Amino acid sequence: MTLPARRRLGDRRVRRRYEIVGQLWGALESVEPLRLRNLARGGALLESRFSLQVDSVHRLRLASADRTSDLQARVRHVSRPVAAPGGPSYLIGMEFLALPPLATEHLEQLLAANAPPVDVSLEREGT
């Protein structure tokens, strides 16, 4: 059997593939809804079924009935798991970083109304 014939039998890919020489880094992102325990101008206390690394930076999405805001936050502290319906959960203290003007306005609106957002979700990134 000739080399091109073997290649056709062993490699049945329809599209062309390129060899990567060296390292090629990628990222994985997932979104997880979290329970908001408290909210302040500088940060939030979230309840999560998974732990986060202290000092890691994540994107958060605050969603209320009429608007949604995306922002960055740094994990400042993580408590040990506590018993909760559906399994143990962690309390995670987040510090807001460089809030965009629209996110600041949204946060101020929530604090003025003394009403928590309907939903908080965390976009987790990993390599």
The full set of domain ranges for the chain reads 26-126
For a pLDDT cut of 70, what percent of the chain falls above it? 82
Is the pTM value of this prediction over 0.75? no
DSSP strands (E only) in the chain? 28-39, 43-48, 57-63, 68-78, 90-97, 119-126
Q: What is the pLDDT of residue 44?
A: 94
Higher pLDDT, 16 or 102: 102
Average pLDDT over residues 62-78: 92
Average pLDDT over residues 23-28: 85
Q: What is the pLDDT of residue 127?
A: 43
Look at the block and give the residue holding tokens 């990567």: 20
For a pLDDT cut of 90, what percent of the chain falls above it? 38
Contact 82, 89 (CB under 8 A): yes
Q: What is the pLDDT of residue 24?
A: 85
Q: What is the pLDDT of residue 8?
A: 54
- Mean pLDDT across the chain: 83
Contacts (Cβ under 8 Å, ≥6 apart) of 100: 69, 70, 71
Q: What pLDDT band is residue 105 in, cutting at 50, 70 and 90?
A: very high
Give the three-state DSSP class for 55. Answer: coil
Residue range 26-126 forms a domain whose CATH class is: mainly beta
Q: 3-17, 42-56, 77-91: lowest mean pLDDT where?
A: 3-17
Measure CA 39 to chain center.
Answer: 18
Q: How would you classify the pairing of strands 119-126 and 90-97? A: unpaired
The residues pairing with 119 across neighbouring beta strands, listed in sequence order, are 63
* CA proximity to 47, closest of 86, 8, 99: 86
